A and B are shown apart, each in its own frame.
Chain A
Protein backbone atom coordinates (compact mmCIF):
# COMPACT_ATOMS: atom_id res chain seq x y z
CA UNK A 1 0.00 0.00 0.00
CA UNK A 2 2.79 2.38 0.90
CA UNK A 3 4.56 1.62 -2.36
CA UNK A 4 1.39 2.09 -4.38
CA UNK A 5 0.55 5.38 -2.69
CA UNK A 6 3.95 6.95 -3.25
CA UNK A 7 4.40 5.43 -6.71
CA UNK A 8 1.21 7.16 -7.84
CA UNK A 9 2.66 10.48 -6.67
CA UNK A 10 5.90 9.98 -8.60
CA UNK A 11 3.97 8.76 -11.63
CA UNK A 12 1.63 11.75 -11.72
CA UNK A 13 4.52 14.18 -11.34
CA UNK A 14 6.65 12.61 -14.06
CA UNK A 15 3.74 12.01 -16.43
CA UNK A 16 2.68 15.63 -16.04
CA UNK A 17 6.20 16.79 -16.87
CA UNK A 18 6.27 14.41 -19.84
CA UNK A 19 3.08 15.90 -21.15
CA UNK A 20 4.47 19.41 -20.79
CA UNK A 21 7.74 18.64 -22.53
CA UNK A 22 6.09 16.90 -25.46
CA UNK A 23 3.10 19.21 -25.66
CA UNK A 24 2.24 20.81 -28.99
CA UNK A 25 -0.44 23.05 -27.56
CA UNK A 26 -0.13 25.57 -24.74
CA UNK A 27 -3.60 24.84 -23.37
CA UNK A 28 -2.73 21.14 -23.25
CA UNK A 29 0.52 22.10 -21.52
CA UNK A 30 -1.31 24.07 -18.83
CA UNK A 31 -3.57 21.11 -18.05
CA UNK A 32 -0.52 18.82 -17.86
CA UNK A 33 0.99 21.26 -15.38
CA UNK A 34 -2.11 20.92 -13.24
CA UNK A 35 -1.66 17.13 -13.29
CA UNK A 36 1.91 17.50 -11.99
CA UNK A 37 0.56 19.93 -9.43
CA UNK A 38 -1.99 17.44 -8.15
CA UNK A 39 0.89 15.05 -7.46
CA UNK A 40 2.10 17.41 -4.74
CA UNK A 41 -1.40 17.80 -3.27
CA UNK A 42 -1.73 14.05 -3.14
CA UNK A 43 1.69 13.67 -1.52
CA UNK A 44 0.77 16.13 1.24
CA UNK A 45 -2.43 14.25 2.01
CA UNK A 46 -0.69 10.87 1.93
CA UNK A 47 1.85 12.06 4.45
CA UNK A 48 -0.95 13.29 6.66
CA UNK A 49 -3.10 10.20 6.32
CA UNK A 50 -3.56 8.02 9.38
CA UNK A 51 -4.87 4.50 8.88
CA UNK A 52 -8.37 4.09 10.36
CA UNK A 53 -8.18 7.70 11.47
CA UNK A 54 -11.24 9.85 11.11
CA UNK A 55 -11.43 13.26 9.54
CA UNK A 56 -10.32 16.20 11.69
CA UNK A 57 -13.90 17.31 12.15
CA UNK A 58 -15.15 17.00 15.67
CA UNK A 59 -18.89 17.52 15.38
CA UNK A 60 -20.99 14.87 17.14
CA UNK A 61 -17.97 12.95 18.30
CA UNK A 62 -17.12 11.50 21.71
CA UNK A 63 -14.51 13.31 23.71
CA UNK A 64 -11.67 10.94 22.82
CA UNK A 65 -12.44 9.83 19.31
CA UNK A 66 -9.25 7.91 18.58
CA UNK A 67 -6.77 8.53 15.77
CA UNK A 68 -7.33 11.56 13.56
CA UNK A 69 -5.74 12.34 10.23
CA UNK A 70 -3.35 15.27 9.98
CA UNK A 71 -5.18 18.58 9.69
CA UNK A 72 -2.00 20.52 8.89
CA UNK A 73 -1.33 18.63 5.69
CA UNK A 74 -4.94 19.11 4.65
CA UNK A 75 -4.60 22.84 5.18
CA UNK A 76 -1.42 22.97 3.09
CA UNK A 77 -3.00 20.89 0.36
CA UNK A 78 -5.99 23.23 0.37
CA UNK A 79 -3.68 26.19 -0.16
CA UNK A 80 -1.93 24.39 -2.98
CA UNK A 81 -5.19 23.61 -4.78
CA UNK A 82 -6.18 27.28 -4.73
CA UNK A 83 -2.74 28.29 -5.88
CA UNK A 84 -2.82 25.85 -8.77
CA UNK A 85 -6.16 27.23 -9.92
CA UNK A 86 -4.75 30.78 -9.91
CA UNK A 87 -1.67 29.83 -11.92
CA UNK A 88 -3.72 27.83 -14.44
CA UNK A 89 -6.10 30.72 -15.02
CA UNK A 90 -3.21 33.11 -15.62
CA UNK A 91 -1.45 30.74 -17.99
CA UNK A 92 -4.67 30.25 -19.93
CA UNK A 93 -5.08 34.01 -20.24
CA UNK A 94 -1.52 34.25 -21.56
CA UNK A 95 -2.23 31.42 -24.01
CA UNK A 96 -5.35 33.14 -25.33
CA UNK A 97 -3.32 36.27 -26.00
CA UNK A 98 -0.49 34.32 -27.63
CA UNK A 99 -2.98 32.72 -29.97
CA UNK A 100 -4.46 36.09 -30.82
CA UNK A 101 -1.01 37.45 -31.69
CA UNK A 102 0.47 34.51 -33.53
CA UNK A 103 -2.44 32.31 -34.57
CA UNK A 104 -0.80 29.28 -33.02
CA UNK A 105 -0.40 27.59 -29.66
CA UNK A 106 2.41 25.23 -30.63
CA UNK A 107 5.53 25.85 -28.53
CA UNK A 108 7.57 24.64 -31.51
CA UNK A 109 6.39 27.54 -33.63
CA UNK A 110 6.71 29.93 -30.74
CA UNK A 111 10.41 29.39 -30.21
CA UNK A 112 11.07 32.95 -31.20
CA UNK A 113 12.02 35.07 -28.29
CA UNK A 114 14.53 36.04 -30.91
CA UNK A 115 17.96 37.00 -29.68
CA UNK A 116 17.99 39.31 -32.69
CA UNK A 117 14.83 41.24 -33.28
CA UNK A 118 16.28 43.31 -36.06
Chain B
Protein backbone atom coordinates (compact mmCIF):
# COMPACT_ATOMS: atom_id res chain seq x y z
CA UNK B 1 0.00 0.00 0.00
CA UNK B 2 1.13 3.55 -0.58
CA UNK B 3 1.20 5.90 2.39
CA UNK B 4 -1.96 7.61 1.19
CA UNK B 5 -3.98 4.45 0.69
CA UNK B 6 -2.82 3.05 3.98
CA UNK B 7 -3.82 6.20 5.81
CA UNK B 8 -7.24 6.24 4.17
CA UNK B 9 -7.94 2.60 4.88
CA UNK B 10 -6.71 3.05 8.43
CA UNK B 11 -8.89 6.09 9.06
CA UNK B 12 -11.98 4.22 7.92
CA UNK B 13 -11.02 1.20 10.01
CA UNK B 14 -10.16 3.29 13.06
CA UNK B 15 -13.46 5.14 12.82
CA UNK B 16 -15.22 1.79 12.75
CA UNK B 17 -13.26 0.53 15.73
CA UNK B 18 -13.92 3.75 17.63
CA UNK B 19 -17.66 3.41 17.02
CA UNK B 20 -17.53 -0.21 18.17
CA UNK B 21 -15.62 0.73 21.32
CA UNK B 22 -18.10 3.52 21.91
CA UNK B 23 -21.03 1.11 21.66
CA UNK B 24 -19.30 -1.24 24.06
CA UNK B 25 -18.39 1.44 26.58
CA UNK B 26 -21.90 2.87 26.46
CA UNK B 27 -23.10 -0.36 28.01
CA UNK B 28 -20.96 0.15 31.11
CA UNK B 29 -22.35 1.54 34.33
CA UNK B 30 -22.06 5.30 34.75
CA UNK B 31 -18.56 6.56 35.58
CA UNK B 32 -18.20 6.53 39.34
CA UNK B 33 -20.84 3.96 40.16
CA UNK B 34 -19.77 0.80 41.99
CA UNK B 35 -19.22 -2.03 39.56
CA UNK B 36 -19.09 -5.33 41.33
CA UNK B 37 -19.69 -7.33 44.43
CA UNK B 38 -16.34 -9.03 43.77
CA UNK B 39 -14.57 -5.80 44.72
CA UNK B 40 -16.81 -5.27 47.75
CA UNK B 41 -16.06 -8.77 49.00
CA UNK B 42 -12.33 -8.26 48.53
CA UNK B 43 -12.36 -4.85 50.19
CA UNK B 44 -14.26 -6.37 53.09
CA UNK B 45 -11.99 -9.41 53.41
CA UNK B 46 -8.56 -7.83 52.97
CA UNK B 47 -8.16 -6.58 56.52
CA UNK B 48 -9.97 -9.26 58.56
CA UNK B 49 -8.65 -12.23 56.61
CA UNK B 50 -5.30 -11.04 55.39
CA UNK B 51 -4.43 -8.27 57.88
CA UNK B 52 -3.31 -6.31 54.86
CA UNK B 53 -4.50 -2.73 55.00
CA UNK B 54 -3.67 -2.23 51.32
CA UNK B 55 -6.37 -4.19 49.53
CA UNK B 56 -4.54 -3.87 46.21
CA UNK B 57 -1.53 -5.71 47.64
CA UNK B 58 -3.84 -8.36 49.03
CA UNK B 59 -5.34 -8.84 45.57
CA UNK B 60 -2.09 -8.93 43.62
CA UNK B 61 -0.15 -11.10 46.05
CA UNK B 62 -2.81 -13.24 47.69
CA UNK B 63 -6.32 -13.47 46.23
CA UNK B 64 -4.98 -13.32 42.67
CA UNK B 65 -1.37 -14.20 43.40
CA UNK B 66 -1.12 -16.52 40.41
CA UNK B 67 -1.59 -13.56 38.03
CA UNK B 68 1.33 -11.82 39.64
CA UNK B 69 3.45 -14.97 39.42
CA UNK B 70 3.02 -14.87 35.65
CA UNK B 71 3.49 -11.12 35.58
CA UNK B 72 6.85 -11.60 37.31
CA UNK B 73 7.78 -14.13 34.67
CA UNK B 74 6.89 -11.67 31.94
CA UNK B 75 9.44 -9.32 33.46
CA UNK B 76 11.84 -12.20 33.87
CA UNK B 77 11.39 -13.20 30.22
CA UNK B 78 11.83 -9.59 29.14
CA UNK B 79 15.13 -9.31 30.99
CA UNK B 80 16.36 -12.62 29.60
CA UNK B 81 15.12 -11.55 26.17
CA UNK B 82 16.90 -8.20 26.22
CA UNK B 83 20.08 -10.00 27.28
CA UNK B 84 19.68 -12.45 24.42
CA UNK B 85 18.87 -9.81 21.83
CA UNK B 86 21.61 -7.43 22.89
CA UNK B 87 24.26 -10.07 23.54
CA UNK B 88 27.65 -9.47 21.93
CA UNK B 89 27.06 -11.03 18.54
CA UNK B 90 29.57 -12.95 16.51
CA UNK B 91 30.38 -9.95 14.34
CA UNK B 92 30.72 -7.46 17.14
CA UNK B 93 33.53 -6.30 19.34
CA UNK B 94 33.09 -4.48 22.61
CA UNK B 95 35.08 -1.30 23.02
CA UNK B 96 34.48 1.92 24.81
CA UNK B 97 33.94 4.59 22.16
CA UNK B 98 36.82 6.55 23.65
CA UNK B 99 39.21 3.75 22.81
CA UNK B 100 39.00 4.74 19.20
CA UNK B 101 40.99 7.87 19.88
CA UNK B 102 44.42 6.48 20.66
CA UNK B 103 45.73 9.45 22.63
CA UNK B 104 42.64 9.77 24.76
CA UNK B 105 42.61 8.50 28.31
CA UNK B 106 39.50 7.48 30.09
CA UNK B 107 38.78 10.15 32.68
CA UNK B 108 38.14 8.95 36.21
CA UNK B 109 34.61 9.62 37.48
CA UNK B 110 34.42 13.27 38.41
CA UNK B 111 34.19 14.10 42.13
CA UNK B 112 30.87 15.84 41.50
CA UNK B 113 29.31 12.71 40.06
CA UNK B 114 30.77 10.66 42.88
CA UNK B 115 29.40 13.05 45.49
CA UNK B 116 25.99 13.09 43.85
CA UNK B 117 26.07 9.31 43.86
CA UNK B 118 27.01 9.05 47.52
CA UNK B 119 24.20 11.38 48.50
CA UNK B 120 21.55 10.12 46.13
CA UNK B 121 22.09 6.38 46.42
CA UNK B 122 21.42 5.97 50.16
CA UNK B 123 18.33 8.15 49.86
CA UNK B 124 17.04 6.01 47.03
CA UNK B 125 17.83 2.83 48.95
CA UNK B 126 15.86 4.07 51.95
CA UNK B 127 12.94 5.13 49.77
CA UNK B 128 13.01 1.80 47.94
CA UNK B 129 13.14 -0.30 51.10
CA UNK B 130 10.36 1.77 52.61
CA UNK B 131 8.19 1.20 49.54
CA UNK B 132 8.89 -2.53 49.50
CA UNK B 133 8.40 -3.24 53.17
CA UNK B 134 5.20 -1.23 53.54
CA UNK B 135 3.49 -2.85 50.56
CA UNK B 136 0.94 -4.62 52.71
CA UNK B 137 0.23 -1.49 54.73
CA UNK B 138 0.16 1.35 52.23
CA UNK B 139 0.42 1.87 48.46
CA UNK B 140 3.59 0.55 46.91
CA UNK B 141 5.21 -2.83 46.99
CA UNK B 142 7.83 -5.04 45.49
CA UNK B 143 7.58 -3.74 41.95
CA UNK B 144 7.64 -0.02 42.64
CA UNK B 145 10.21 -0.37 45.39
CA UNK B 146 12.27 -2.68 43.22
CA UNK B 147 12.51 -0.09 40.48
CA UNK B 148 13.56 2.55 43.02
CA UNK B 149 16.20 0.18 44.40
CA UNK B 150 17.35 -0.52 40.87
CA UNK B 151 17.83 3.18 40.24
CA UNK B 152 19.87 3.36 43.45
CA UNK B 153 22.10 0.54 42.26
CA UNK B 154 22.35 2.23 38.94
CA UNK B 155 23.43 5.52 40.43
CA UNK B 156 26.20 3.67 42.26
CA UNK B 157 27.16 1.92 39.08
CA UNK B 158 27.29 5.15 37.11
CA UNK B 159 29.04 7.16 39.77
CA UNK B 160 31.77 4.71 40.53
CA UNK B 161 32.59 2.34 37.83
CA UNK B 162 30.90 2.40 34.50
CA UNK B 163 33.80 4.05 32.76
CA UNK B 164 36.04 1.45 34.35
CA UNK B 165 33.62 -1.24 33.46
CA UNK B 166 36.21 -3.95 33.10
CA UNK B 167 36.92 -3.93 36.78
CA UNK B 168 33.39 -4.27 38.05
CA UNK B 169 31.23 -6.82 36.29
CA UNK B 170 28.09 -7.31 38.33
CA UNK B 171 26.31 -9.19 35.54
CA UNK B 172 26.37 -12.56 37.27
CA UNK B 173 25.13 -11.15 40.53
CA UNK B 174 22.29 -9.33 38.79
CA UNK B 175 21.28 -12.45 36.90
CA UNK B 176 21.31 -14.43 40.11
CA UNK B 177 19.17 -11.82 41.81
CA UNK B 178 16.71 -11.79 38.89
CA UNK B 179 16.46 -15.58 38.90
CA UNK B 180 16.32 -15.88 42.68
CA UNK B 181 13.46 -13.40 42.87
CA UNK B 182 11.41 -15.13 40.19
CA UNK B 183 12.21 -18.56 41.60
CA UNK B 184 11.46 -17.33 45.12
CA UNK B 185 7.91 -16.56 44.10
CA UNK B 186 7.48 -20.15 42.91
CA UNK B 187 9.01 -21.43 46.15
CA UNK B 188 6.54 -19.45 48.26
CA UNK B 189 3.81 -21.10 46.18
CA UNK B 190 5.24 -24.55 46.75
CA UNK B 191 5.57 -23.91 50.49
CA UNK B 192 1.80 -23.64 50.50
CA UNK B 193 1.64 -27.11 48.95
CA UNK B 194 4.10 -28.51 51.48
CA UNK B 195 1.99 -27.13 54.29
CA UNK B 196 -0.84 -29.26 52.95
CA UNK B 197 -2.75 -26.29 51.59
CA UNK B 198 -3.16 -24.96 48.06
CA UNK B 199 -0.43 -23.50 45.84
CA UNK B 200 0.29 -19.91 46.89
CA UNK B 201 -1.71 -20.31 50.09
CA UNK B 202 -0.98 -17.75 52.72
CA UNK B 203 0.33 -20.15 55.35
CA UNK B 204 2.49 -17.78 57.39
CA UNK B 205 1.24 -16.20 60.61
CA UNK B 206 -0.68 -13.09 59.68
CA UNK B 207 0.17 -10.54 62.37
CA UNK B 208 -1.77 -7.36 63.14
CA UNK B 209 -3.22 -5.11 60.43
CA UNK B 210 -1.20 -1.97 59.85
CA UNK B 211 1.88 -3.58 61.34
CA UNK B 212 5.07 -3.92 59.36
CA UNK B 213 4.96 -7.66 59.96
CA UNK B 214 1.48 -8.44 58.76
CA UNK B 215 -0.19 -10.04 55.82
CA UNK B 216 1.58 -13.41 56.06
CA UNK B 217 3.20 -14.19 52.74
CA UNK B 218 2.38 -10.78 51.26
CA UNK B 219 5.52 -9.02 52.56
CA UNK B 220 7.60 -12.08 51.69
CA UNK B 221 6.32 -11.98 48.14
CA UNK B 222 6.92 -8.24 48.02
CA UNK B 223 10.50 -8.89 49.03
CA UNK B 224 11.14 -11.55 46.38
CA UNK B 225 9.50 -9.39 43.74
CA UNK B 226 11.74 -6.51 44.77
CA UNK B 227 14.83 -8.72 44.52
CA UNK B 228 13.80 -9.79 41.04
CA UNK B 229 12.82 -6.35 39.81
CA UNK B 230 15.90 -4.61 41.22
CA UNK B 231 18.27 -7.12 39.66
CA UNK B 232 16.30 -7.30 36.44
CA UNK B 233 16.04 -3.58 35.85
CA UNK B 234 19.71 -2.91 36.48
CA UNK B 235 20.58 -5.78 34.16
CA UNK B 236 18.26 -4.35 31.54
CA UNK B 237 19.72 -0.87 31.79
CA UNK B 238 23.23 -2.32 31.74
CA UNK B 239 22.51 -4.23 28.54
CA UNK B 240 21.28 -1.06 26.85
CA UNK B 241 24.18 0.96 28.20
CA UNK B 242 26.67 -1.65 27.04
CA UNK B 243 25.30 -1.24 23.55
CA UNK B 244 26.84 2.22 23.34
CA UNK B 245 30.17 0.48 23.85
CA UNK B 246 29.55 -2.23 21.27
CA UNK B 247 30.89 -1.76 17.82
CA UNK B 248 29.74 -3.84 14.98
CA UNK B 249 32.11 -4.93 12.28
CA UNK B 250 30.41 -5.79 9.06
CA UNK B 251 31.87 -8.42 6.87
CA UNK B 252 34.15 -5.97 5.12
CA UNK B 253 35.60 -4.92 8.45
CA UNK B 254 33.80 -1.57 8.43
CA UNK B 255 32.74 -0.42 11.84
CA UNK B 256 29.42 1.04 12.78
Contacts and interface: CB of A to CB of B under 8 A. Distances in A.
B70 to A, nearest CB: 9
B21 A89 contact: no
Contacts of A74: 56, 59
Interface in A45-63: 46-53, 55-60
Contacts of A18: 10, 14
Contacts of A58: 46-47, 53-55, 209
A56 B43 contact: yes
Contacts of B64: 72, 75
A41 to B, nearest CB: 14
Contacts of A87: 78
Nearest to B41: A72
B56 A48 contact: no
Interface string B19-60: 001100110101111111011001100110000011110111
A interface residue count range (under 10 / 10 to 19 / 20 to 34 / 35 or more): 35 or more
A96 B6 contact: no
Interface string A85-107: 11101101110110010010000
Interface string B222-250: 00000000000000100110010000100
A14 B35 CA distance: 25
Given A83-B71, A93-B240, A72 B78 contact: no
Contact of B60 (A2, A17, A50, A78): A78
Given A46-B31, A96-B243, A103-B256, A90 B85 contact: yes
Given A71-B56, A86-B75, A13 B21 contact: yes
A97 B10 CA distance: 28
B74 interface: yes
A29 interface: no
A93 B42 CA distance: 39
Contacts of B60: 75, 78-79
Contact of A56 (B32, B35, B56, B137): B56
B82 interface: yes
Contacts of B36: 70, 72
Contact of B32 (A1, A14, A79): A1
A110 interface: no
B86 A97 contact: yes
B86 A21 contact: no
Nearest to A101: B248
12 contacts: A1-B32, A6-B28, A47-B35, A49-B32, A55-B139, A56-B55, A71-B58, A75-B59, A86-B77, A89-B236, A94-B85, A96-B243
Interface of B: 3, 6-7, 10, 14, 17-18, 21-22, 25-26, 28, 30-36, 38-39, 42-43, 46-47, 53-56, 58-60, 64, 67-68, 71, 74-75, 77-78, 81-82, 85-86, 137-139, 143, 209-210, 236, 239-240, 243, 248, 256
The 4 closest A-B pairs by CB, nearest first: A51-B32, A86-B78, A56-B55, A71-B55
